[in-house]
Amino acid sequence: MNAAFRVETLKLTRSLVGVIATLAIVLGMVGLLGGITAGVAGGNPEMIAQAGPAASLDWGGLLAGAAQITAVTALLGFGIVLAWMFGREFSDGTITGLFALPVGRTRIALAKLTVYLLWAMLVSTAAVLGVFVLGLLIGYGAPDSGTWAALGRLWALAMFSAGLAIPVAWIATVTRSLLAGVASTIALIVLAQVGALAGAGGWMPLAAPALWAMSDGTAVPPTQLALTAGCAVVFIALVCWSWSRLQLDR
């Protein structure tokens, strides 16, 4: 397991996919928030209308905008990385070599998921720190207790998004396709948006974390968030089970 973990860590840290996804999530978050803040501060009526709660030039507005952005960009970035981590073994033909290793395929899958979740934790932390630094640079002052709580919810939202992306690993495995993994990432984002618009609320795992973060933790109770976490655990089990049953003849 340790050997598999080291190998998967090297694969991710030395890949352009991991580097680009990290920069896209962290710098993309800060860049978009900076652009929204500049537009609102400049009195752009279209920007103010589209920003909604994020149009408030304070910590509350900044974090409202960050939650909206995270709900989409984090799921997209995490899903693409998962599609690459699992799908590339099939598209590059390296899956054949994995059968010759003394490490079981279930352990390889667990190593991939462990590396992915640790990376997602680092990226989530970097993104929240970026928002924090941006707020200080803009001049919003030292955060109060409510702002610290909102920053914590933002980090949790990013990590929930990392969990919600895990079905991508299963789909990439079952279909043996990197492109199918990327397509399923887009499908998850669409389903989350449709579910939110349809009023499914917290009972839809894909939409619950975003609604929870954007409502200051009031719109979604812990039981519904637990359902989201439970879905991630189920798909982790499915990924490991699928890898344990992989065959070379298909």
| pLDDT in the model for residue 2 | 78
Question: Among residues 81, 62, 95, 244, which one has the least CA distance to residue 176?
Answer: 95
Provide the pLDDT for residue 83. 95
Please check whether residue 249 lies inside any domain of the structure.
Answer: no
Domain contains 250: no
CA–CA gap between residue 136 and residue 68 (Å, rounded): 20
Residue 151 lies inside a defined structural domain of this protein:
yes
**Which pLDDT score is estimated for 164?**
94
Helix 167-175 / helix 222-244 crossing angle, nearest 10 deg = 20
90 inside domain: yes
In-domain check, residue 131: yes
Q: Does the model's pTM come out above 0.75?
A: yes
Distance CA 78, CA 28 (A): 14
Question: How many structural domains is the chain composed of?
Answer: 1
Q: Is residue 236 in some structural domain?
A: yes
Residues of the chain under the 50 pLDDT cut: none
Q: Given this model, what pLDDT does residue 130 score?
A: 95
Domain residue limits at 115: 2-244
pLDDT of residue 250: 54
Q: Is residue 31 situated within a structural domain?
A: yes
Tell me how far CA of residue 201 lies from CA of 40, 124, 146, 235, in angstroms: 29, 24, 24, 21
Q: How far apart are CA 192 and CA 244, in angstroms?
A: 30
